[in-house]
Amino acid sequence: MLTKRFGAIFLLHHAYSPYRVAKLLGVSQPTIHRYQEQYQEGVYDSILTTITKQEERAFLKFLSDFAFSRVDYGARKRLRKRLSS
């Protein structure tokens, strides 16, 4: 659940809509709205400012594979490979 929470915060930080975040990560909309309120209050600022651009890109690729792993074999395979290393 921690990965989904950070993924939601990360996507909200990158201006994804709460609806889209909920659908991508399989999390309820009320949960995403709660995370969005916390994000707007600055609760996650210290975490988000410590991430480098390279780490952001890598995490975004991971989230993409995570979201599409339900329907795409290639994404599922990449996700398994990332999780095993």
Q: Could you tell me the residue ranges of all domains in the chain? A: 1-50, 52-85
Looking at residue 70, its pLDDT comes to 67
Looking at residue 43, its pLDDT comes to 95
Q: Along the 85 residues of the chain, how does pLDDT read in single tens digits?
A: 677 898 899 899 989 999 999 988 889 999 999 999 999 999 999 988 898 989 988 888 887 777 767 667 777 777 777 777 6
Looking at residue 77, its pLDDT comes to 78
One-letter amino acid for residue 30 of the chain: P
